[in-house]
Amino acid sequence: MDTTKPVEITLPEDCTDMREVRAGVDSTDRELMALLDRRFGYMRAAARIKQDRNVVRDEARKAEVIANARLDAEKRDLPAGKIAQIWEELVETSIAYELEEWDRLRS
């Protein structure tokens, strides 16, 4: 599939068959991956900026990010507990990635 051309998708509320649903899911997954790429870019920036490896893990900030995701999910009527679990994994993966980057930049 050529990903250089924008794919026209049908909004969820307008889908009438599974082909449209699947195309929408695939398109959304590509958008999510682009957003994750940007998020991990911020982890690389943090690794570059932070001078002390011990400040990479910030439990207060982690709790804040997860709470924000849970609240946003609740406002959108999404499964907030499951979204919070996903964000827990995302933040832990981000911390591990930032630590690896921190070490790589200073080796």
Task: Give the annotated binding-site residues for substrate.
Answer: 22, 39, 50, 98
Q: What is the spatial distance between Cα 85 and Cα 93, in angstroms, rounded to a whole number?
A: 12
**Rg from Cα positions in the chain:** 18
Q: What is the spatial distance between Cα 48 and Cα 36, in angstroms, rounded to a whole number?
A: 18
Q: What is the spatial distance between Cα 59 and Cα 90, in angstroms, rounded to a whole number?
A: 14
46 touches 56 (CB < 8 A): yes
Q: What is the spatial distance between Cα 27 and Cα 3, in angstroms, rounded to a whole number?
A: 10
Annotated binding site: 22, 39, 50, 98
Determine the residue type at 5: K
